[in-house]
Amino acid sequence: MSQTSERIREPSVLDRVDDRIKVLCVVAFVAAVALLPDGAWTRFGALAGLLLLAYLLGRVPLLWALKRLPLLLPVFLLVGLSAWISSRGESGMGTDRFLSVLVGASMSLLALALMAYNPGPDNMLRALQFYFRGSFLVTLLTMTHRYIVVIVAEARRMLRARDSRGQPPRVLDRARVAGSMVGYLFVRSLQRAERVGHAMEARGFTGVYPRGRVRPLRWTQLAAGLTFCAAMAAVVVIP
Amino acid sequence: MHMPDRVLTPEVWATLDVASVGLVGGAVYKTRQRLEPRDAPLMAVMAAFIFAAQMVNFPVALGVSGHLIGATLAAVLLGIGPAVLIMTAVLVIQALVFQDGGLMALGANVFNLALVAPVVGYLVYGTVLRHARGPASPQVAAFLGAWLSVVATAAVAGIQLVLSGYAAIAIIPGILLWHLAIGIGEGLITVAALQLVWKAKPEMAPISGEAEPPRIGRTTSVVGLLAVASVLALALSPLASPSPDGLERVAHDAGLAEEFEHEPILPGALPDYTTPGVEGEAASTAIAGVIGVLLVLIPLAAVVWLITWGKGQEEETAQDAA
Amino acid sequence: MPVLEVESLEYKYPTGVSALGGVSLAIEPGERVALLGPNGAGKSTLILHLNGILLCQQGEVRVDGDRVEKRNLAEVRRKVGLVFPNPDDQLFMATVAEDVAFGPRNMGLDEDEVDRRVGRALEAVGLPGFEERMPYHLSTGEKKRASIATVLVMEPDVMVLDEPAAGLDPRGRKGLIELLKGLPCALLVATHDLAMAREVCSRVLILDGGKLAADGPVDDVLADTELLLEHGLA
């Protein structure tokens, strides 16, 4: 859970950009990557260069981000297989499509990793609160992110206790043990949910997240963000 | 299970983004009408619970390990509306914070795992439970729900891949077979988890406790199950589309065509998905589709009927005794 | 007039088991009272009634002479603050500042006033400059202090603390005692820590089996070894 740890990092150029604008830019970037035609390698290259520049400007550890890429392996396998078969057949996807998925999915993942590093999950969620004011779903996301840390820690303690006692020989029993742990985790989570609910009510919670001070978005920042979005749109539209 | 960006084509992911925003928006609206202040932290902690529960793995064999997805578990314990919101929250956090699943593909992932999965799980669970009141029926209902929810999710994802131009013959049987197996793990974990919860919190148990059993009407059951079966049949249909597909071409090139013709290696597929003795390609494909639906529905109905039959017996015995 | 009164409060769980069987007590402004009792005595259930998380089934709770009902919950929750035993349940926002500001914002105060109060509360609990820290990265002692700040910031007349010393090391516990002694409001401290009760409070209540077993000056009650043994406290 290294993404959520409190990182003490040197301020970089990226920190001069409003978090809300950074979130907007990453969304525009990911959308552009997803919309490029297959095999538009010049444009893929331009966007990749832009991403690399952001990593350098933000002094984001590239190695840390690259370690997230294996998440994509099963899908690459599937796409590769499909492409290989299609290349023998007459219809379906070819090499260009396959490579575009490979490159595009990786770039998109790296852009999201960048956002998880700077501005980071908490500021990202705050930006979402700004864009979707009063949204119940965003309130839910913010609280979920807070309690993932707590409940994952609880799950890890249970897993450690189980693994220290070894696994039953039969797969069926192993599944049953895992299921019981999940059930136990549910009961504990339910109790925690009740206590959290009490603590929130005790401080006057009425079901709506109280709105804090909303920092106005500076127009220079907004203009820069919109320009970036326009540039992304242009990359997609202009061949 | 989580789709990254760019795997699906823009038409497919954009459509699913729009659909998911609409459907989840509807779920938020419906759920909030009945919400009390303390339900917001409840759902957040439950979403965190599902996230953590997905980490609880168990070794299967050869370094492969199984784990829970949890959509049916959430739906059975908390109801369908909250389950949709909880699964959505889990997927958004997984995409934004852990890069598990793409951002443009979020609509697809939400559609498959936060809408199809809990709805199918809940539908099957509720339908079986309505017809069966035997001592083990909640467990059977939950197992079937969890198992079918995983299979249906895989089928829907497979259809999305085919719509995005992937070679169907290569991926659909693989995906479905794999998830038929994964679904068993999901069912086992879900049932074991429910058993512990129902024991620790008897008030949440569906039959002995006060927990409201899911209210799913007969029409909803029938229409819903037909829809699930059709999706499964549709997922299997490209297998045998009349035009020679990639794999067959490969086989042909390798001189294996003859063996292929005699020994269909693909499960559940009618030979080329056309019905022998029926003229006309369209009609024959349609009939094949209907047969496919029936092939999926009949075993399901048989299971439900078996349990119902047990219930009837019990009632008769009770009447005889009285 | 007492700031907090409980009169013949009874409570049964949905299962029918009785948790509280007629509890009456009163707390004067600025008074420091310890609430002792073995596990399962009903302390936490009693505490949940004090600002209307649970509403009375029998008897009543009065805050400033006003009966606690659904209509005055906001007012009651401003006057009576609860600090829960586990800080991870109490601190649910992304940063310490947001968490401390949660109560005042629910009270509808304007943002300048919220900022002033947050600063003051963090200062008072010894966490100045912790505004932007994340609650889950604080030490147990710091989490405890932050929990107290989240309630102190609402400027309550009574602060009720459930097991405030749970999980603290000796130094953390000592710091907590100093902090509690310096708080401006009346205190009701539910605890198993007799030494802390002696240091912080002037009066002691013993709750056992859902009934009040003793109510008196701290020196008298804590000197009565027989009484303490009888209720599993020594």
CA distance C184 to chain A (A): 19
Specify if B140 maps to a domain.
yes
**A27 lies in which domain range?**
11-129+216-237
Specify if B304 maps to a domain.
yes
- Which residues touch A161 (CB under 8 Å, ≥6 apart)? none
Determine, for residues A3 and B97 on separate chains, whether the beta-carbon distance falls below 8 Å.
yes
Report pLDDT for C108: 86
Specify if A49 maps to a domain.
yes
Specify if B3 maps to a domain.
no
Each residue's pLDDT tens digit, C34-90: 999 998 889 999 999 998 999 888 899 999 999 999 889 889 999 999 999 999 888
Same domain assignment for residues A198 and A223? no
Each residue's pLDDT tens digit, B232-277: 777 776 554 444 443 344 444 444 333 333 333 333 333 344 444 4
Specify if B108 maps to a domain.
yes
With beta carbons less than 8 A apart as the criterion, state whether A67 and A73 touch.
no
Each of the 322 residues of chain B gets a pLDDT tens digit; together they read 689 999 999 999 999 999 999 999 998 888 887 777 778 889 999 999 999 999 888 777 766 777 889 999 999 999 899 999 999 999 999 999 999 999 999 999 999 999 999 999 999 998 888 877 677 788 999 999 999 999 999 989 988 988 888 876 667 777 888 888 889 999 999 999 999 999 888 888 876 555 566 677 778 888 888 888 888 777 776 554 444 443 344 444 444 333 333 333 333 333 344 444 444 554 555 555 556 556 656 666 665 555 544 444 444 444 444 4
Chain A touched by B29 (CB under 8 Å):
no
SS3 label, residue C190: strand
Chain C touched by A203 (CB under 8 Å):
yes
Determine, for residues B6 and A33 on separate chains, whether the beta-carbon distance falls below 8 Å.
yes
Same domain assignment for residues A230 and A124? yes
Chain C touched by A122 (CB under 8 Å):
yes
Report pLDDT for B303: 58
A167: which chain B residues are within 8 Å (Cβ-Cβ)? 58-59
Specify if B4 maps to a domain.
no
Report pLDDT for B259: 38
**C108 lies in which domain range?**
4-230
Same domain assignment for residues A22 and A125? yes
CA pair distance B9, C62, nearest whole angstrom = 64
CA atoms within 13 A on the CB side of A201: 23
Specify if A210 maps to a domain.
no
Q: Select from C71, C83, C131, C136 the residue whose CB has the most chain A CBs within 10 Å, as the one to mutate to test that interface.
A: C136
Query: What are the E-state strand segments in chain C?
Result: 4-12, 18-27, 32-36, 58-63, 66-67, 80-83, 158-162, 186-190, 203-208, 211-217
CA distance A85 to chain B (A): 5
B169: which chain A residues are within 8 Å (Cβ-Cβ)? 85
Specify if A209 maps to a domain.
no
Which CATH number is C119's domain given? 3.40.50.300
Return the residue of B nearest to A113 by Cα.
B99
A149: which chain C residues are within 8 Å (Cβ-Cβ)? 136
Specify if B317 maps to a domain.
yes
Q: Select from B29, B36, B46, B49 the residue whose CB has the most chain A CBs within 10 Å, as the one to mutate to test that interface.
A: B49
Residues of chain C with pLDDT under 70: none
CA distance A80 to chain C (A): 41
Chain A touched by B43 (CB under 8 Å):
yes
Same domain assignment for residues A139 and A173? yes
Determine, for residues C53 and A201 on separate chains, whether the beta-carbon distance falls below 8 Å.
yes
Determine, for residues A186 and B67 on separate chains, whether the beta-carbon distance falls below 8 Å.
no
What is the interface pTM, i.e. ipTM, of the complex?
0.92
Chain A touched by C151 (CB under 8 Å):
yes
Is the preceding peptide bond at C217 cis, omega within 30 degrees of 0?
no
Specify if A3 maps to a domain.
no
Closest CB to A154 among B5, B52, B89: B52
**B146 lies in which domain range?**
10-321
Determine, for residues A5 and C53 on separate chains, whether the beta-carbon distance falls below 8 Å.
no
Same domain assignment for residues A36 and A79? yes
CA pair distance C227, C234, nearest whole angstrom = 9
With beta carbons less than 8 A apart as the criterion, state whether A85 and B170 touch.
yes
Count of structural domains, chain A: 2
Same domain assignment for residues A121 and A138? no
Closest CB to A196 among B45, B66, B99: B45
Count of structural domains, chain B: 1
C136: which chain A residues are within 8 Å (Cβ-Cβ)? 146, 149-150
Chain A touched by B64 (CB under 8 Å):
no
Same domain assignment for residues A29 and A92? yes
Rounded to 10 degrees, the C-alpha dihedral B94/B99/B104/B108 comes to -50
Determine, for residues A202 and C94 on separate chains, whether the beta-carbon distance falls below 8 Å.
no
Which CATH number is B200's domain given? 1.10.1760.20
- And the tokens for B180? 């038929």
Closest CB to B165 among A93, A152, A190: A93
Determine, for residues B85 and A97 on separate chains, whether the beta-carbon distance falls below 8 Å.
no
CA distance A63 to chain C (A): 25
Chain A touched by C90 (CB under 8 Å):
yes
Identify the H or E element spanning C51. none
Please, is B312 exposed, middle or buried when counting C-beta atoms within 10 Å of its C-beta (0-12, 13-18, 19+)? exposed
Within chain A, what is the greatest distance between any pair of CA atoms? 67
Chain C touched by A199 (CB under 8 Å):
yes
Count of structural domains, chain C: 1
Return the residue of B nearest to A181 by Cα.
B193
Mean pLDDT of A8-37: 90
Closest CB to B5 among A4, A108, A171: A108
Chains that touch C (3 or more CB pairs under 8 A): A
Mean pLDDT of A67-74: 89
Determine, for residues A204 and C77 on separate chains, whether the beta-carbon distance falls below 8 Å.
yes
Chain C touched by A156 (CB under 8 Å):
no
Sheet of C4-12, strands arranged across = C18-27, C4-12, C58-63, C66-67
Same domain assignment for residues A75 and A29? yes
Same domain assignment for residues A110 and A61? yes
Determine, for residues A185 and B56 on separate chains, whether the beta-carbon distance falls below 8 Å.
yes
Specify if B1 maps to a domain.
no
A145: which chain C residues are within 8 Å (Cβ-Cβ)? 94
